[in-house]
Structures are given as structure tokens and as C-alpha cells.
Amino acid sequence: MRLGAPLSARQIVFVVGCALLVFWFLLGMIPAVFAPARESARRTACQSNPNQIGRAIFMYADVPANNSQPPPSLNLLLSPAYIADKRCFWCPSCKAHADNDYAYVPGLKLTGAEEKRLVLAHDAKLYHGEGRNVLLTDGTVEFMREAEFWKALKEGLGPTPPSKNTPQEPKPSGTDGARQQAR
């Protein structure tokens, strides 16, 4: 084929076919390119759920009749007084929602920023691939990778870092001795 010579019909079909193949290939790549960004957005959206659950737990404990104790079950928080929208218990990255996509560790003492923190609630499964959103007994929420999560579940974490804003003011009159290790 000479340069500048007009293309034959076969050559045009070949060039157009190649262009279409490249186009379809790139089109197929789009979901893979944007998937990590979408999961990152869902992980961030998920954090607002344990954050709200944490606020509701502190509100529940603040009711005098509840004697500074967190609820024995998260189901008790699904009420207009605490959390009216059931979707607050659904992780955005969970494909098939259970009643509650967050696991809860009952019987823990709510802590202040200067105290040891324990895992209070967390993504029940590895919805976010490499880790989970975790609510701690000071009311803060952190994303933890698996090894970090299981260590925190077993041993707890140190006091709230200064960079974290504690969303609730824990009651100073919490019941002593109620802190338990997560099982």
C-alpha cells in the first residue's frame, strides 16, 4: 500500500473494526477504573451509620431509667426516639441486607476520651474488602484493616487521639466494672 493512496474497502473495514475493538475494550475498563472510587465513597457513607448508632447508644445511656448503660441490643434503638430510619443499620456495601449489617458488643462501659476504648459495634462482615468501620466506646468511628480490627476487638485501643473529635460527651457517672472484653 502506497502512502496517500486511497484505502480499499477491505482496509477501511479492517481499520474501523480495530477502532471498534479498542473502543469496546476501553468501555469494558470503565467499571474497573471507577470501582475503587465507588467503594471508597460507600465506605465513607457507611461511617455515618455507626456514627449515628453511637450517638443513639449514648442517648439511650443518658436516659435516667437506663442507668448509664448502653442498650442490651441495637434493636432497641430502632424507634423514633433514637433512630427512625432502618437503613441506618444497613451498610451501603452489603449486597444482601440482614436486619442489621452491624455487629454489636453488648455490656461495655461507655468511655471518655482519656480512657481505654473498646470495640462497641462494627461492620458484621468484610463488606469493604480490606477492613471494617468500627464504633468505639468513646463514640468515635474508625476504619480498621482486618488485623487491626481483631486486635482492637480482643485488646481494645488506647485513649482517643487528640486529632479525633469525640461526637458525644460521655457521662462521667458511668457504671464501674461493666467494661468487658469483647468475645
x/- string (CB under 5 A) for Zn ion, residues 131-160?
Answer: --x---------------------------
- Least separation in angstroms between residue 128's CB and Zn ion is 6
For Zn ion (CB under 5 A), the number of binding residues is 5
Please report, as residue ranges, which positions from 57 to 116 form the binding site for Zn ion (by CB under 5 A). Answer: 91
> Which residue in the set 58, 89, 104, 127 belongs to the binding site for Zn ion (CB under 5 A)?
127
x/- string (CB under 5 A) for Zn ion, residues 43-62?
Answer: ---x----------------
3-state secondary structure the chain: CCCCCCCCHHHHHHHHHHHHHHHHHHHHHHHHHHHHHHHHHHHHHHHHHHHHHHHHHHHHHHCHHHCCCCCCCHHHHEECCCECCHHHHCCCCCCCCCCCCEEECCCCCCCCCCCCECEEEEECCCCCCCEEEEEECCCCEEEEEHHHHHHHHHHCECCCCCCCCCCCCCCCCCCCCCCCCCC
- Least separation in angstroms between residue 34's CB and Zn ion is 19
Which span (3-11, 79-87, 124-132, 165-173) binds Zn ion, by CB under 5 A? 124-132
Q: Which is nearer to Zn ion, 62 or 148 (CB)?
A: 148
> Which residue in the set 123, 140, 152, 156 belongs to the binding site for Zn ion (CB under 5 A)?
123
- Residues within the interface to Zn ion (CB under 5 A): 46, 91, 123, 127, 133
